[in-house]
Structure formats: structure tokens, C-alpha cells
């Protein structure tokens, strides 16, 4: 219980810190959201080296509840820019919790978190940079999804996943990202990555 309280306390402090940064700077909200996205994933990865990574199951579900309540009673400046079209801030901790639940090893959990942190961010940024790239489905372009696939593949190869398995896992993650709307990719990408790697390896 003590370890769980430490993790929740530090991550909550990090969330408040990012909120203060968003309120005191002119960082665009879309960029701030991705900074939080990457920063919180790095915190999760760091804690997974200090404690059993399965602690992130309870941590993720706790923050799902916190952010559901916050949506109703507190205006998170750093997370509000897509409230009308996305539940991404809720699906994000859900993806962390379920990713930890599904991952069969610490290494697979780290791979899933890096994909959540980097592949999703790259897909979003490239898709926004090249909005006229052909859309596969609404809000998903060939440029953005292709960039996400390549980033996932690079991550998996860097983690010494056999090349064939890396290609297959990156592909199913890309398909999950393409099919997920309203921020659901924050859950499907890490969960599918963890499930695919756990099965393949």
C-alpha cells in the first residue's frame, strides 16, 4: 500500500505541475497535452523500475476515477482543448492500467508505454502537420498512421524484439490506432501492444 501511495502521490503532483505550467505559459493546449502525455508515461516507466510494474494497474484505474470527477468539477486547462470531441484524458490512465494488467513481463510493459508515449504522439503530430494526406477513416491519415507505425517499429527493434515479431506487433498497433476514435487509441495502442507482444514472445 505504501508503494501505491507513493506512485499515486508523485503522479498526482506531476499532473498538478503540468497544470500550473499550462496556466502560466503560452504553450498551445494541443502541445501541452502531448507534453503531459509523454511526461506521465516517462514517470510510469521510471516507477516500473522501482516497484513491480503491476502496481500501475491500480494506479491507472485510480486516475480514471480522478479524471472522470475532474471533468465535472474542475477545469484542467491543460486537458480541456478537446473535451467536446475526445475522452482521451480518461482513456490514457485506462490504457496504462490495462497495459500493465495484460503485459506478461516488465520489458513488454515498457514497450507498451513507449508506444503510448511516442507512437501516438508522432501519429498525432504528423497527421496534424499533413492534414491533406489521404484519410483512411475520419481523423486518421496515411501520413499520421504511417508515422505511428514506423515509430512503434523503431521502439520495438531498439528493445531487441525480433524483427518479424516487431513488424507484426507494430502493424496491429497501427490498425488499433486507425480504428480508435474520440481518444480511445490511448487505451487500445498500449493494450494491443502488450497483448501482441505477450502472445508472440
Is the Cβ–Cβ distance between 23 and 77 less than 8 Å?
yes
Placement of cell 506478461 in the chain: 104
Short-list 111, 101, 82, CA closest to 181: 82
pLDDT tens per residue, the chain (201 residues)?
A: 889 999 999 999 998 888 888 888 888 877 888 888 899 999 999 999 999 999 999 999 999 998 888 877 766 665 655 555 678 889 999 999 999 999 999 999 999 999 999 998 898 888 777 766 666 666 778 888 899 999 999 999 999 999 999 999 999 999 999 898 888 999 999 999 999 999 998
Residues spanned by the domain of 26 = 2-200
3-state class (DSSP) for residue 137: strand
The pTM assigned to this predicted structure is 0.91
Burial (CB < 10 A; 0-12, 13-18, 19+), residue 173, is buried
* Burial 184-200, CB ≥16 within 10 A → b, else e: bbbbbbbbbbbbbbeee
How many domains are contained in the chain?
Answer: 1
Output the pLDDT for position 8: 94
pLDDT for res 158: 97
Amino acid at each position: 500500500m505504501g508503494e501505491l501511495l507513493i506512485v499515486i502521490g508523485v503522479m498526482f503532483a506531476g499532473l498538478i505541475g503540468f497544470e500550473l505550467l499550462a496556466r502560466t505559459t503560452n504553450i498551445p493546449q494541443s502541445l501541452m497535452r502531448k507534453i503531459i502525455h509523454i511526461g506521465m508515461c516517462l514517470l510510469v516507466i521510471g516507477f516500473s523500475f522501482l516497484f513491480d510494474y503491476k502496481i500501475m494497474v491500480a494506479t491507472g484505474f485510480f486516475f480514471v476515477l480522478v479524471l472522470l470527477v475532474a471533468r465535472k468539477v474542475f477545469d484542467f486547462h491543460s486537458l480541456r482543448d478537446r473535451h467536446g470531441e475526445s475522452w482521451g484524458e480518461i482513456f490514457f490512465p485506462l490504457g496504462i492500467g490495462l497495459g500493465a494488467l495484460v503485459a506478461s513481463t516488465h520489458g513488454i510493459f515498457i514497450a507498451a508505454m513507449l508506444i503510448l508515449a511516442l507512437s501516438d504522439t508522432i501519429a498525432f503530430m504528423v497527421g496534424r502537420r499533413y492534414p491533406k494526406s489521404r484519410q483512411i477513416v475520419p481523423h486518421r491519415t496515411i501520413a499520421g498512421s504511417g508515422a505511428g507505425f514506423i515509430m512503434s517499429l523503431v521502439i520495438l527493434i531498439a528493445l531487441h524484439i525480433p524483427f518479424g515479431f516487431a513488424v507484426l506487433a507494430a502493424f496491429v498497433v497501427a490498425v488499433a490506432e486507425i480504428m480508435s476514435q474520440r481518444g480511445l487509441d490511448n487505451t487500445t495502442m498500449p493494450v494491443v501492444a502488450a497483448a501482441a507482444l505477450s502472445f508472440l514472445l
